[in-house]
Structures are given as C-alpha cells and as structure tokens.
C-alpha cells in the first residue's frame, strides 16, 4: 500500500490518497479543499481512483470533492448517518463560516464493519460517532485513517449539534484503543500518531478503563 498525505485549506484538513501498487486502484479520503496537488499525485502515479471516502460530512472535509469526482469519476461514499451533510449546508456546518455548501448526494452509503475493496486492499469501516453522527475511521493494513475522531493528543470537537463527548470517548475506548498499539493513526487534522502513543498520552482518555 502507498499513502500520500496533503494538508489542505486554511483549516489544515488532511487528505489521504492511498492505493494498491499492483493494480493502481486508489481511494481519495477527505478531499477537503480544491488543490491541484491531489490531481497531480493521481496523474503522476497513473492511479485509477475508485472511491472518494469521507470520514464524516463536515464541509472542511468535502471542499475538493467535486474537483476529484469530475477528474476521476470516482464514487463518493459516506456513512449513512452523515449522508444529508452533502446536501444540507446546516448539517455540513458551512453555514457557520457564511457559506451554503451543497453537493450531489453520495453514490453509496457506509455501515459499521463493512469492508471496501480497493485493488487488493481491504478497508474496514469503523463507525465512531461523537464528533458527528456519521463519523467513521478507516482501518487498512496497519493504518487507521481517523478523521476528526482522534487526533495526536486530542480528540474532535463535540460542541456541534450532532456531537456527543461521552459517545466519542466511549467509541475511542471500545473501538479504537482495542486495536494493536503499533497501528499508525492518520488524523483529519495535524500530525500522525499511533494507538499506543494515544493510549499513554492523550489527555482526554486518561484515567478511563
């Protein structure tokens, strides 16, 4: 598996492009803002982008979606509980920054524990609501793409309308911290980390058993 990370836009949203190096089938995860670097990576590596995967439906993870979709014809997948974020500016929070951000409906909806196939890669969907109702992490090989569920020594905000702090902490505890300590965590904002490091150092999750 190959992965590239790009930090996009003023909010520094991390976009990940991952692919199977044999078939060159690829997925673009959270194309947060339009940025020619996404398309450059796709072109330079001759990638066949099968899916645009969304960790959740907030606008800062969707802004480059139309650009990538138009260039590649990839299918857009989002968890069913965040599906309305694509078509409802209030739900994707773009109204909070004075925009009304509206997209086409998704091409497919994700559910807990589902596996998405990209070449020989198996990408498992782990539903971790708390930052948003349809928030998911994607587990592929030894890598967890965590969206805004878990950050390096932090967690996603839970003060939006569809946030819930105790739900988020519970999901990190029961669905993420049960994974192997060596698993790399690639978050929706900021620096990479690992499960083991966060278990030890994440201040939001200390003293919980």
Q: Give the binding site for Zn ion (CB under 5 A).
A: 58, 60, 148, 188
Residue among 119 and 129 whose Cβ is closer to Zn ion:
129
d(CA 104, CA 69): 11
In total, the chain counts a number of residues equal to 209
Owner of token pair 């992490």: 137
Residue 159: CB minimum distance to Zn ion, A: 11
Residue among 73 and 190 whose Cβ is closer to Zn ion:
190
Residue among 134 and 188 whose Cβ is closer to Zn ion:
188
Residue 60: CB minimum distance to Zn ion, A: 5
Are residues 69 and 52 in contact, defined by beta-carbon separation less than 8 angstroms?
Answer: yes
Are residues 33 and 9 in contact, defined by beta-carbon separation less than 8 angstroms?
Answer: yes
Please calculate the CA angle 140-141-142 and round it to the nearest 5 degrees: 105
- What phi-psi label fits residue 49: left (phi over 0), alpha (psi between -120 and 50 degrees) or beta? beta
Residue 14: CB minimum distance to Zn ion, A: 9
Q: Which single residue brings its beta carbon nearest to Zn ion?
A: 58
Residue 190: CB minimum distance to Zn ion, A: 10
Residue 58: CB minimum distance to Zn ion, A: 3
d(CA 125, CA 81): 13
- Quick one: tokens of 12? 């520094």
CA distances 99 to 63, 92, 93, 111, 123, Å, are: 11, 10, 9, 29, 32
Residue among 57 and 119 whose Cβ is closer to Zn ion:
57
Residue among 35 and 60 whose Cβ is closer to Zn ion:
60
Residue 133: CB minimum distance to Zn ion, A: 11
Residue among 20 and 148 whose Cβ is closer to Zn ion:
148
């Amino acid at each position: 598996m190959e992965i590239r990370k790009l930090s996009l836009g003023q909010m520094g949203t991390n976009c990940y492009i991952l692919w199977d190096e044999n078939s060159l089938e690829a997925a673009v995860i959270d194309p947060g803002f339009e940025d020619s670097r996404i398309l450059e990576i796709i072109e330079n590596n001759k990638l066949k982008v099968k899916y645009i995967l969304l960790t959740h439906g907030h606008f800062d993870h969707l802004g480059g979606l139309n650009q990538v979709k138009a260039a590649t014809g990839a299918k857009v997948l989002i968890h069913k509980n965040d599906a309305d974020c694509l078509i409802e500016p209030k739900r994707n929070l773009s109204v909070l920054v004075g925009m009304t951000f509206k997209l086409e409906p998704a091409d497919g909806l994700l559910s807990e524990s589902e596996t998405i196939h990209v070449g020989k890669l198996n990408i498992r969907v782990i539903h971790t609501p708390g930052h948003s109702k349809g928030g998911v992490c994607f587990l592929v090989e030894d890598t967890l793409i965590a969206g805004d569920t878990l950050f390096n020594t932090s967690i996603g905000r839970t003060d939006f309308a569809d946030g819930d702090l105790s739900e988020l902490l519970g999901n990190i505890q029961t669905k993420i911290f049960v994974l192997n300590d060596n698993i790399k965590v690639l978050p929706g904002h900021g620096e990479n980390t690992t499960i083991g490091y966060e278990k030890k150092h994440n201040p939001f999750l200390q003293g919980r058993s």
